[in-house]
Amino acid sequence: MMTWRIVPVILTVLGLTLASAAQAQKGRIYNTVKTKLAAGQQVVGGTITTSDPDIYCSMANSGFDFLWIEMQHSPLNYEQVARMIWACKDAPAIPFIRVPDATEGDIQKATDIGALGIIVPMVDDVKKAEDAVTFAKYPPIGKRSQGGGQYRAVWGADYRQTANDNIMVVAMIESPLGVAVVDQIAAVEGVDVVFAASTDLASFSGFKQGEPKYEAMVTKIHDATLKAGRVLAGPVAWKGRPERPDFRFFQGPGETALIRVGAQTALKRGEGGEGGRRGVAPTEGAQP
């Protein structure tokens, strides 16, 4: 009789153990961009082209969900970006890097310094999307080398076990060639976000936003991305626009635009002091 009474207890404990093991195997999620998107929310990233850690930290703590660190169209190098990420490793904004290309070297360096998002430009064929996933993910999913770097100090001692669940891959569709195969690109396992690159679509196609042929390209990207169950991305100017439904991942302005707007706002309204009280000069050193 005692044996039969113990059996349910053993089964319960075994079930809880297996559930805990499954959860541990899945790993913890510290990429808040991923959790917000999974919850159906929108995310916006400010664009960084400077190597100044103070500017980086200011933007990383200003309310952006992530920072779009621009290494395709800037002279930034990985040592500079590593210093910025380290300077504000506890900031709310998650570091995403737009790499120059989907090469093993670029993606390896970007992930080693702590990027949790890899933004790949000019995805015109399926292989480039597959390469991005391969080089961003550890085995058994990809072929990322273990190597060294500051990733463990930034994201925790269990980084090797959790990185594959946290690193995101963003594929940018910038030309008619990419649009033609966007359904295949979006279907690549490991691609999380598909980005409709607004200005480059116009540049490579010769069609302007609002023209039927341009809008047909955006519609094809929209439909293929949602069909594949991926997140649809675009410029922040498209955020909340009724003619651009379902976009949830946005590239925001860069630091020069933000400084300009901030300066204009400060000159127009007068900068407030501590607690936002107008007419009270801020105490030096009190700003975050």
Residues that are catalytic:
73
Largest CA distance in the chain: 83
Check if the beta carbon of residue 107 is closer than 8 Å to that of residue 168: no
Looking from the CA of 44 toward its CB, the CA atoms found within 13 Å total 14
Check if the beta carbon of residue 151 is closer than 8 Å to that of residue 160: no
| Block residue for tokens 């904004």 | 93
Amino acid at 61: N
| Block residue for tokens 């500017």 | 55
Amino acid at 78: Y
Q: For residue 194, which phi and psi values (nearest 5 degrees)?
A: -120, 125
Judged by DSSP in three states, 219 sits in: helix
The span from the CA of 11 to the CA of 73, in Å, is 58
Q: Provide the token pair at 92.
A: 């709310």
Q: What is the DSSP letter of 188?
A: S
